[in-house]
Amino acid sequence: GQNIDQPTEMTATEGAIVQINCTYQTSGFNGLFWYQQHAGEAPTFLSYNVLDGLEEKGRFSSFLSRSKGYSYLLLKELQMKDSASYLCAVRVGYSGATNKLIFGTGTLLAVQP
């Protein structure tokens, strides 16, 4: 089966740092994505990891440990506009119809002044 877990909700303060964790157990692994989604809008791409280690993109960083089935998204210098849902998604399969994204439960982040 496919199982991807994230905390349901988190609260953080403007200007602070927050880490959103994601653990996964999937049949196959071909990369892990993090998306940001504001209410009623489409997800937007934040980061991608396929090898172990840390990927940094500005205020956002994402870490992956394939042996542990674990990833986290790190948001620095939080801004009010960062209040959104953060979705962890694992790509399974390699070609054709088997290459698809399995989304986690999503983490609703509330940034407070």
Partner 1 sequence: GAVVSQHPSWVICKSGTSVKIECRSLDFQATTMFWYRQFPKQSLMLMATSNEGSKATYEQGVEKDKFLINHASLTLSTLTVTSAHPEDSSFYICSARPLARGSYNEQFFGPGTRLTVL
Interface residues toward partner 1, by CB under 8 A: 31, 33, 35, 40-45, 48, 87, 89, 91, 96-97, 99-106, 108
Which residue, 74 or 101, is less far from partner 1 as judged by CB? 101
Q: What would the two tokens of residue 30 be?
A: 């071909």
Which residue, 27 or 113, is less far from partner 1 as judged by CB? 27
DSSP tag of 17: -
90 closest CA partner among 18, 37, 23, 43: 23
Nearest distance from residue 92's CB to partner 1, in Å?
Answer: 10
Nearest distance from residue 87's CB to partner 1, in Å?
Answer: 6
In angstroms, the CA 80 to CA 31 distance is: 29
